[in-house]
Amino acid sequence: MNTAAANKGVSVSVKDAIQTSRQKVNQKLYDQFGEQEKVTFLIKVKEQVDTNAVAKEADQKASLKKAAPAKAKSLKQSTIVYKINILNHEFTFGKGWDPEKHPF
């Protein structure tokens, strides 16, 4: 429970319970934006792609197609990158994002 909810008791505003972007982003990043026009930063996403599972799935597809080793490796790499891109777009645009309707 967040501290605002703990201090106010049972009645808590939803606005108080939700973190603002100012609370989520490190103050150093805001300071850098104040000093520079462009800033590089990394966003950590809780949900991750299980690359091992994706690689196994791609290996199975490659073996069914009887692909050459180089083709199988390429298929595995492109499948992993595709899954990461899907996760990235879902993070950016929401879970309702459809790669068929809105390709990369």
> Is the model's pTM score more than 0.75?
no
Say which residue, 10 or 36, is predicted with more confidence. 36
Model pLDDT for residues 41-70, shown as the tens digit of each residue? 777 777 788 999 999 999 999 999 999 999
CA distances from 62 to 13, 51, 72 (A): 53, 16, 5
**H-helix segments, the chain:** 3-8, 14-17, 21-24, 27-35, 51-64, 69-93
Domain-wise residue ranges, the chain: 12-93
